[in-house]
Amino acid sequence: MRILVFGGTGYIGSHTCIELAARGHDLVVADNLSNSSPRVLERLQAIIGAPLAFRNVDLRDREATRTLLAGAGFDAVVHFAALKAVGESCERPLDYFDNNITGTLNLLQAMREAGVARLVFSSSATVYGDPERVPVDEDAPLRVTNPYGRTKLVMEQLIADLCSAEPGFQAGVLRYFNPVGAHGSGLIGEDPGGVPNNLMPYICQVAVGRRPALSIYGGDWPTVDGTGVRDYIHVLDLARAHADALDTLERTGAGFTVNLGTGTGVSVLQLVQAFERASGRAVPYEIVGRRPGDVAEVYADPARAQSLLGWRATLDVDAMCRDAWRWQSMNPTGYAEPG
Amino acid sequence: MRILVFGGTGYIGSHTCIELAARGHDLVVADNLSNSSPRVLERLQAIIGAPLAFRNVDLRDREATRTLLAGAGFDAVVHFAALKAVGESCERPLDYFDNNITGTLNLLQAMREAGVARLVFSSSATVYGDPERVPVDEDAPLRVTNPYGRTKLVMEQLIADLCSAEPGFQAGVLRYFNPVGAHGSGLIGEDPGGVPNNLMPYICQVAVGRRPALSIYGGDWPTVDGTGVRDYIHVLDLARAHADALDTLERTGAGFTVNLGTGTGVSVLQLVQAFERASGRAVPYEIVGRRPGDVAEVYADPARAQSLLGWRATLDVDAMCRDAWRWQSMNPTGYAEPG
């Protein structure tokens, strides 16, 4: 298939490019590089061992998006391009609506005009908010608690409304739980700008000496050890799910929404301990107060992804930590030149 | 106040212009005229007795919207510009998201850049979906059932997120029930294109001979006479509420969300009978099957609007029918030249 990967230089997008290329698909990577580095492209080409077509396009630019799609003969689009920081979304909601919702709308319009009818979309477990029970399946109530989550939910609904209006249009909506880890080459990985919002990159930056200690928000949650429990999933498993999702859309002609998680909850302290084992480094931490909006325990019921896509996660927490650490130790400052 | 009325040539927008002008505000009317006639402007100027500034701007055009706001010294914006047909929204969801959500986003960004921090926004009782109980107050669960409703809810949430992020920004969100009626001059009124989606314009077109009979969807609802019950509100009451909302924002500096309805449910048959009395015309009808998605009974609890805005509806169903009929009989083909 000829596939447009929008947001293809980001963390999950870049890993997915490798999987798609390995399956023989013909890729065009598009990104505005607002939250990713052009070096990702060099690294991707080194891993893939072939040139990779790249277009610097901002989804908010309707004409540029239209031009990118028109007559390019894409069979499908994988759409990763979105802002994703909860705190920032509360401070700059208009930017989040603009990047995420307007961007998705422009993409869908451009797809319609170009006759591209197959989409794989990056959603998030954030659409479940604070779930009533775990594991969370796809029929759980959707209730978002911040502007970022709201944009994810609205994008899902926009896609669903389009699928209802145009039965020829098919979408695979993937609700990620907590992606971590990196490619085994150590050449690409997660490289957040500023203070990491997510646990694993924070741990990595502590282990590599960029930050003094990890703050753990809350040690009194009703969980195995008092720290919050999440469903961490290796980015390579996630990448494989995107390729499986595309295959499923092509094979069945029917859209779907599936959770992508391992089905296993892991606490913050468990992840820290696994990371210390995998890296041989100490990760000093302190337990501080809970953050508003956080919840005790969220992990996936991944059964639907298994039955519809034939996909399940195979890499465990040790692999996640080992690969995250390889990436971080080989690239202490991420994609930036060491300063 | 100097006020930008976006969507000011539409049905509710045009009536609101009259009320705002009567209160001495300085108005600029903007509209893309996609769903309204330029004749509205001539009629408005005749009623107001003064020239009215008009700008042909499409809210989807970010630059044009920004230019309209920049340095224009507006104290507030009243935002009516949106598509509003449920059935059409199911067929063309992207257009609805684009016009309504992207448009609102562009407006809010332009307001921020221009330092305009006061907004009155047209929302709808559609955000309540099929309410659990009537009367419906503003704390009822929000659950929309179609793309049009979804866009209204998302616009409300976008505005709320912006108000949270920027405490200086204040919005009055007005949830209309079922606006009907027209200005007493008979010069302006509701002029839907194509087959009317709403009951009153349909009744008017039957009474004036443009359509043979009214179809009433469902005669077996659990209501007073088996037909659906709604909360019809005179557009002049609604127009007054917008002016009161602006005054309230200025006086209190605090945003709000209020229902705008009479608090009284009226059935389809009751409205038909009132219209026949007011017009002296027969309105032939037939009762047909229910439409999917319709509900038995929706009417407002308008108490919050009374307590916050000091507003309540004063015009009854007889006035609504009399004024709707005056408009329709004086303008049998609406704003179009009789063909």
Is pLDDT above 70 for B339? no
Strands A229-230 and A266-267: antiparallel
CB within 8 A of B108, min separation 6: which ones?
A: A94, B119, B158, B159, B162
Q: How confident is the model at residue B293 (pLDDT cuts 50, 70, 90)?
A: confident
Question: Taking the CB of residue B86, how many other CB atoms lie within 10 A of it?
Answer: 16
- Name which of A92, A94, A158 is nearest B97 (Cβ-Cβ): A158
Task: For residue A336, give the DSSP letter.
Answer: S
Say which residue the tokens 């009537």 belong to: B134
Listed residue (A122, A151, A182) closest to A325, CA to CA: A182
- Kindly report the pTM of this predicted structure: 0.94
Convert chain A into a string of H (helix), E (strand) and C (coil): CEEEEECCCCHHHHHHHHHHHHCCCEEEEEECCCCCCCHHHHHHHHHHCCCCEEEECCCCCHHHHHHHHCCCCCCEEEECCCCCCHHHHHHCHHHHHHHHHHHHHHHHHHHHHHCCCEEEEEEEHHHHCCCCCCCECCCCCCCCCCHHHHHHHHHHHHHHHHHHHCCCCEEEEEEECEEECCCCCCCCCCCCCCCCCCHHHHHHHHHCCCCCCEEEECCCCCCCCCCCEECEEEHHHHHHHHHHHHHHHHHHCCCEEEEECCCCCEEHHHHHHHHHHHHCCCCCEEEECCCCCCCCECCECCHHHHHHHCCCCCCCHHHHHHHHHHHHHHCCCCCCCCC
Structure tokens at A86: 């909860």
Whole-number mean pLDDT of chain A? 96
Which of helix, strand or coil describes residue B57?
coil
Q: Is the preceding omega at residue B135 within 30 degrees of 0, hence cis?
A: yes
- Catalytic site residue from A11, A96, A128, A148: A148
Strand partners, B234: B180
Listed residue (B159, B102, B99) closest to B127, CA to CA: B159
Which of residues B291 and B262 earns the better pLDDT score?
B262
Share of chain A above pLDDT 90, in %: 96
Average pLDDT of the residues in A253-273: 98
Q: How confident is the model at residue A337 (pLDDT cuts 50, 70, 90)?
A: confident
- Catalytic site residue from B11, B96, B148, B176: B148
Please calculate the CA angle A84-B160-A294 and round it to the nearest 5 degrees. 45
CA distance A297 to A130: 9
- Name which of B90, B164, B165 is nearest A165 (Cβ-Cβ): B90
Contact of B101 with chain A, judged by CB distance below 8 Å, is answered with: yes
CA A224 to chain centre: 27
Is pLDDT above 80 for A176? yes
Contacts of B164 in chain A (CB under 8 A): 90, 93
Contact of B105 with chain A, judged by CB distance below 8 Å, is answered with: yes
Contact of A145 with chain B, judged by CB distance below 8 Å, is answered with: no
Contact, A81 vs A102, CB < 8 A?
A: no
Q: What is the pLDDT of residues B95-152, one digit of tens each?
A: 999 999 999 999 999 999 999 999 999 999 999 999 999 999 999 999 998 999 999 9
Average pLDDT of the residues in B172-188: 98
Mutation to test the A interface, candidates B112, B152, B158, most A Cβ within 10 Å: B158
What backbone torsions phi and psi does residue A285 show, to the nearest 5 degrees?
-145, 160
Whole-number mean pLDDT of chain B? 96
CA distance A172 to A170: 7
Which of helix, strand or coil describes residue A62?
helix
Amino acid sitting at position B117:
A
DSSP string spanning B149-170?
HHHHHHHHHHHHHHHHH-TT-E
Structure tokens at A274: 């696994």
Mutation to test the A interface, candidates B63, B113, B150, B157, most A Cβ within 10 Å: B157
Say which residue the tokens 């006035």 belong to: B319
> pLDDT at position B193, please?
87
Question: Taking the CB of residue A59, how many other CB atoms lie within 10 A of it?
Answer: 26
Burial of A286 per CB tally in 10 Å (0-12, 13-18, 19+): exposed
Structure tokens at A292: 């508003």
Task: For residue B125, give the DSSP letter.
Answer: G
Amino acid sitting at position A164:
S
Listed residue (A87, A100, A90, A143) closest to B102, CA to CA: A100
Contact of A150 with chain B, judged by CB distance below 8 Å, is answered with: yes
CA distance B267 to B273: 10
- Name which of A98, A147, A162 is nearest B93 (Cβ-Cβ): A162
- Name which of A91, A105, A154 is nearest B94 (Cβ-Cβ): A105
Contacts of A292 in chain B (CB under 8 A): none
Q: Is B148 noted as a catalytic residue in this protein? A: yes
DSSP string spanning B182-247?
--TTSS-----SSS-SSHHHHHHHHHTTSSS-EEEE-S-SSSSSSS-EE-EEEHHHHHHHHHHHHH
CA distance B224 to B216: 15
- Name which of A109, A147, A150 is nearest B94 (Cβ-Cβ): A109
User: Would you mind telling me the total number of residues written for chain B in this entry?
Assistant: 339
What backbone torsions phi and psi does residue B8 show, to the nearest 5 degrees?
-80, -10
Residues 262-291 of A with CB under 8 A from B: none
CA distance A137 to A140: 6
Q: How confident is the model at residue A339 (pLDDT cuts 50, 70, 90)?
A: low
CA distance B261 to B271: 16
Contact, A10 vs A35, CB < 8 A?
A: yes
Q: Is the preceding omega at residue A147 within 30 degrees of 0, hence cis?
A: no
Structure tokens at A203: 């741990």
> pLDDT at position B292, please?
83
Q: What is the pLDDT of residues B8-59, one digit of tens each?
A: 999 999 999 999 999 999 999 999 999 999 999 999 999 999 999 999 999 9
Q: What is the pLDDT of residues A278-336, one digit of tens each?
A: 999 999 999 999 988 889 999 999 999 999 999 999 999 999 999 999 999 999 999 99
Is pLDDT above 80 for B7? yes
Beta-carbon separation of B90 and A147 below 8 A:
no
Mutation to test the A interface, candidates B92, B154, B155, B162, most A Cβ within 10 Å: B154
Contact of A101 with chain B, judged by CB distance below 8 Å, is answered with: yes
